[in-house]
Structure 1
C-alpha cells in the first residue's frame, strides 16, 4: 500500500492497529440513513430535518477542548457500537479545506463519546461524570497504568485521565473518501454531570495509511459535535436514557459549546419525531485549516458563563 492510499474494508480489519497521529477534523454535509431497531429509518416528509443552505466554502469550524477521555488510535473501524444499547445513530461527516473548499481525502477522523447512561469506555470505574483539561503525553498501550480518575463521578479531574479498563466501545477511527466524507455507525449519546449531549471529534492529515493504521501527520482540528434540545428530550423518554438520573445540562447551559450553531459543531439531524427509537441521521461539514495544528490541548470554546451549570466540565 502506498502512502497516498487509504485502507479498504478488506485491508483494514475493524479492530486492527494503533495509530501514531496528530490530525484535524472537518465535519461534512452528506446525509446518512440510520438503521433502527425495527428497520431502516424512513427519510420522508414526517421526519424532522434541518438542511444546510449550501455545501460550499465555510467559516472555520470551532476548535474546542479535547477533554480527559481521549485514547489515541485504538480502533480502526467505522462501526463503533459494539454491544452498547441505545438509539441507532449514523454520523456522516465531511471534511473540507476552509480556504479552498476542496475535500480532504484520506484524512483520519476520530470520534469518541459516552454511552446512553453517560459512561466512557476505558473509564467505567469513574461512572457517570468527570472532566478535566485535555490529555497530554503518549497514548496508552497495553495494561492501563497510573492512578484512576481522581475526580470521581462529576469531578473536574486534573488533566488527562489514564484509562482504568480495556473496553473501547463508542470509539473509532476511519479515513475520508475522495469526497472528504466518512460515516460512522454508533448510538445516540447520553449525558453526564456538567455537560450537554455531545460527541468528540479529531481530524488528522499529512500522515500515511499503512498496514499498522495511520502513521505520522498532525491534528488540524479538535472539536465536539452537539445535538439540539428537541432530539435530546425525545431520546430521554426512552430506555436506557430514561434510567440516567444525572441532572442534564442543556445546550444553552453548556460551558464548552460556543453557542454559534453549526459553525460550533451543532449537527443537522433527521428522525421521525414519533419514533426516534428507530434511528437518527446526523451530518455536518467541518471546515478546517489543514496546515495548522489544533490538537485540543490549548483549550477552545467559551469559558463557562453565568448561565452555565456550575459543575460544567471539559469532558
Structure 2
C-alpha cells in the first residue's frame, strides 16, 4: 500500500478506514492453502490466519462451519496501515516510554502477546524471525512522531523467538473521533540478511465492555468516558474486525493482558 506522505492535519481526518485484502470463507481458505487445488496468492494483500479454537472476548471460536479439513488456522482480514505508521520503529519490548525524553505514557497497563505460526498442511508450527511492528495512540488519542508530534512513545518492533512469540508492554489505547479503539500491527518475514520478503498489516480491536471500564479511569476520562465510534459503527470493524478482537483478561486497577495467535503464510 502506498501511503500519503502528507497525512491529514488532524486525527479527526484520518484515513484508517480503507480495507485491504479480502475476508475469506473457510472454503476459500482451503483453496488458498493448497488443500483444494489452489495456490497461495498475495495479490489481495496477504493472508492472515488465527489458530482454530481461539476466541476474542465476546467472540466465537474459529473452526466452526464451512468446509472441513483446514489445518488448524482460519484466514483473517487484512486492514489498512493508516497514515500514522513510521518506518524503523525502535526494537524494544516496553513501548510505553519515549526513547529520547524517557517520559512514559500514562494509562492502564496492557501486555500484548503475539504468537506467530507458519500455516502448513496438517497444522501450524512456530514461526521464528518475523518482525512485528506495533503502534497506537495514547490515552487521549495522540500518536507520536506524526502531524507535528515528537517522540516515539507507543511504537516499537520485535522479532519473534524460536517459539514464534513476541511480547509488548504498553498501555490500553485511547480513542479519537471516527475510529473504534484499536492497535495497528505489521508482520514482516525476513530473509537471512534481514530484508523483508513479505508483509501483512492489520489492526486489533477490543471488547466494548472492556473499553467502558478503562475509559472511566484517569487519564482516559479527560477525553470522555465513551468513544464516539463503537466497534459496530467502525468502517474497518464492519469488514471483519470481529475476527480481530483480542482475547483479553484483567481489570483496570491491575491492567490487562491480550493475546493474538496468528498463522502467517508469507515469505
Aligned to 2:247: 268
Structure with greater strand percent = 2
Distance 1:51 1:247, change over 3 A: closer
Residue 90 of structure 2 is aligned to residue 75 of structure 1:
yes
CA RMSD between the two structures? 2.8
Q: Secondary structure at the match of 2:221?
A: helix
**Aligned residues, how many?**
203
Q: Deviations over 1:239-267 (max 9, x none)?
A: 1110014852101111012454663x110
Aligned to 1:286: 262
Aligned to 2:24: none
Aligned to 1:188: 172
Q: Secondary structure at the match of 1:239?
A: coil
Distance 1:219 1:112, change over 3 A: farther
Aligned mates of 2:188, 2:266 — CA distance in 1: 8
Aligned to 1:240: 219
Q: Deviations over 1:177-231 (max 9, x none)?
A: 111111100000000010011000011113347xxxxx31234310101101000
Structure with greater helix percent = 2
Unaligned runs of 5+ in 2: 1-45, 64-70, 98-103
Aligned mates of 2:152, 2:246 — CA distance in 1: 24
Distance 1:24 1:79, change over 3 A: farther
Q: Deviations over 1:28-81 (max 9, x none)?
A: 89x9xxxxxxxxxxxxxxxx8989679x72112311110000001220101001
From 105, 129, 132, the equivalent of 2:128 is 105
Distance 1:208 1:262, change over 3 A: farther
TM-score, normalised to structure 2's length? 0.68
Aligned mates of 1:166, 1:284 — CA distance in 2: 29
Does the 8 A contact of 1:24 with 1:202 survive in 2?
no
Aligned to 1:59: 74
Does the 8 A contact of 2:141 with 2:176 survive in 1?
yes
Aligned to 1:277: 253
Residue 140 of structure 2 is aligned to residue 117 of structure 1:
yes
Aligned mates of 1:203, 1:236 — CA distance in 2: 29
Distance 1:27 1:188, change over 3 A: farther
Where in structure 2 are the equivalents of 1:1-315 lying within 5 Å?
Answer: 57-82=72-97, 83-100=104-121, 101-123=124-146, 149=147, 164-208=148-192, 215-245=194-224, 248-258=228-238, 260=240, 263=243, 265-272=244-251, 276-291=252-267
